[in-house]
Structure 1
Amino acid sequence: MQQINARVESYTNVRPDAPLPEQYANYMTSVLTGDLGTSIWHNEPVSMIMAKAIPWTVFVSSVSLILTFVIGICLGAIMAYYEGSQFDVSSTILTTLLNAIPYYIAAIILLYFLGFQGGFFPTGGRFDPDTTPGLNLSFILSIIHYGALPIFSFVITGIDPLGMRGNSISVLGSDYVRVARLRGLSDMRISIRYVAHNAILPFYTGLLISIGGLIGGSVIMEQIFSYPGVGYYIFESISSRDYPLMMGGFLVLTVCVVIGVYIADLTYGKVDPRAGTGDQRESY
């Protein structure tokens, strides 16, 4: 039993025979010093595994998030500007159908047709092993090529322009939009520069909060595409009962959510000056 307890302590930095509050305090102390324990399956420090995996998950998640919101915002503004048109109706139907498809179903379909059948994209890995890692064009293009299908799977099932469309319709009745039309500005410029710019503000907080959900969704996505990121190692740790690696992976997801919400809270007043500050509250 002593040998088992010593081995558990060496892997998790927690004494299994200690009281639970003491175990928690010891684990959090080791986390704050950057020691997340040792992976049982890989026999490697969890912090090193996460350090190598985080950049790849951040790459796929951030690009997917940016593309999803940019396309959704622009499309919603254009749909609102042409409200009731054939473009508006068809776009609404198409995006509703795509939103109803789970991202992992889209991932499997894309992987089968564009990966295994078509051979247009690789079916696993993070980059071409024949390229030299570094800031060179071949390596960068290889990263984009290998990450294209995971990104595309998130984007096509995550675009939701309907909320933006509703906000934009309310903005279209504003005086500055009428003035822009009288000035003879193009419809595209009005819908993007004037309508989208002001209707986008309520989505800013949701943008940063969705970081956690997107990274959490990478657990299944990275497993489907054999893309070794944080989600890939979390899934692997669950399958192999590698508890130190599992705890380290979930800790990374939690920190990402907290940081996203915190940044949203700090910067929303800068993005939308109408939100004001704590010293400018009105009394009712």
Structure 2
Amino acid sequence: MKATLPPQVEVSEQELAAMINYDPDATAFERYQNWITDLLLEGDLGTSLTVRQGDPVTGIIVEVLPWTVFLMISSVLIAFSVGIVLGAAMAYFEGSKFDTGTTIFSIVMSSVPYYIFGVLLVFVLGYEMELFPTNGRVGNGLTPGISIEYMGSVIYHATLPALSWALFGLGGWALNMRGNSIRVLGEDYMRVGRLRGLSSARLTTRYVARNAILPLYTQLLIVIGTAFGGAVILEQIFVYRGLGKIIFDGLSQNDYPVMMGGFIVVVIAIIVGVFFAELTYGRLDPRAGEGGENEAF
């Protein structure tokens, strides 16, 4: 569907209905059926009404989606990496002051919403200390391309929003890794390994770490999918124009095609994450093989 109207042009109800392929005489089911048909057969999500009036929603999403993918995957992987290292250390020093302190820290971090971290980081590191930019995706005047200056600016502008989500997520990863590691440390094969004289380094890396991380793999892929929904508030705080910002603008301006298109992408991301986890987990963990007594779920 191509529209030639310039942004924010005043149009009549009839022109607007024609622009978005809306039939006022059709029933709600028929309109939904037409929308689904256009989506599945043509990839047509409709036309923006107010956010970018006259532009196809599909084109808008294609333009902003890579920025959200980069931001959310980076933040989730940072939280995951730091969390599993911290959780493994907590399990290794179980019962110590370090374990107690980091456990309390992890519980607090996982209990505070990510948008609270976002507001605090904007105020402290953005406005007070002026160490990082508080809005935008890249510096002004830079030519898009694969260059050190441009890529550095992209990372620089994404630091605070990524850090907000990472601070929120690392506590949960640390607690999960701690629990899994403690469980693995109590397994019979660990006792046998110690009796055989295997080094602590080998036991930690070859047995504890690998078996403790495996259950977190599925959760990681699901979190990556659900993180796209969390980008709605996060990108609004940092005025980071990605998928979340577009969805928020659609909500605030009653742009239903943009809202529905954004939500479709979020749902697809979750489904793909779960589906990919189901397909690959059995290859990583033989105990989760198909059927029989080896079924792990």
**TM norm structure 2:** 0.87
Q: Does residue 30 in structure 1 map to residue 35 in structure 2?
A: no
CA distance in 1, matches of 2:194, 2:88: 15
1:198 aligned partner: 211
Equivalents in 1 of 2:18, 2:190: separation in Å?
Answer: 65
Task: Output the CA distance in 2 between the equivalents of 1:158 and 1:89.
Answer: 19
Cα distance in 2, alignment partners of residues 118 and 281 from structure 1: 55
Of the three residues 75, 79, 104, the one matched with 1:93 is 104
Structure 1 residues 69 and 245: CA distance shift in structure 2, 3 A: same
The 5-angstrom pairing of residues 1-284 of structure 1 reads 4-5=13-14, 7-11=16-20, 13-32=21-40, 33-41=42-50, 42-43=52-53, 44-159=55-170, 160=172, 161-178=174-191, 179=193, 182-186=197-201, 190-278=203-291
Change (3 A) 1:256 1:190: same
Structure 2, gaps ≥5 residues long: 1-11
Distance 1:26 1:103 in 2: 38
Moved more, 65-74 or 113-122: 65-74
Q: Which residue type is aligned with residue 243 of structure 2?
A: V
Whole-Å Cα distance in 1 between the matches of residues 205 and 66 of structure 2? 32
Contact 1:77-1:165 within 8 A present in 2 as well: yes
Counterparts in 2 of 1:83 and 1:7: CA distance versus 1, 3 Å = same
Q: Is the 8 A contact 1:77 1:192 kept in 2?
A: no
Looking at structure 2, the residues matched to 119 and 192 of structure 1 have their Cα atoms a distance apart, in angstroms, of 41
**Structure 1 residue 69: Cα displacement:** 1.6
Between the two proteins, the alignment pairs up a number of residues equal to 277
Aligned-partner residue type, residue 64 of structure 2 = A
Q: Identity over the aligned pairs, expressed in percent?
A: 46
| Per-residue deviation, 1:28 | 0.9
Q: Using the alignment, how far apart are the partners of 2:35 and 2:138 within structure 1?
A: 35
Shift of 1:277: 1.3
- Superposed CA deviations along residues 21-57 of structure 1, whole A, max 9, x for unmatched, are 3212210121121211111121211111101110011
Q: Give the TM-score normalised by the residue count of structure 1.
A: 0.91
Structure 1 position 147, deviation (Å): 0.3
AA of the residue aligned to 1:98: M
CA separation in 2, counterparts of 1:281 and 1:162? 27
* Separation in structure 2 between the aligned mates of residue 35 and residue 57 of structure 1, nearest angstrom: 21
Paired residues of 1:39 and 1:45 also in contact (CA < 8 A): yes
What is the rounded CA distance, in whole Å, between the counterparts of 1:77 and 1:260 in structure 2? 25
How far did residue 163 of structure 1 move?
Answer: 1.8
For the structure 1 residues 277 and 226, does the alpha-carbon distance in structure 2 shift closer, same or farther, using more than 3 Å as the test?
same
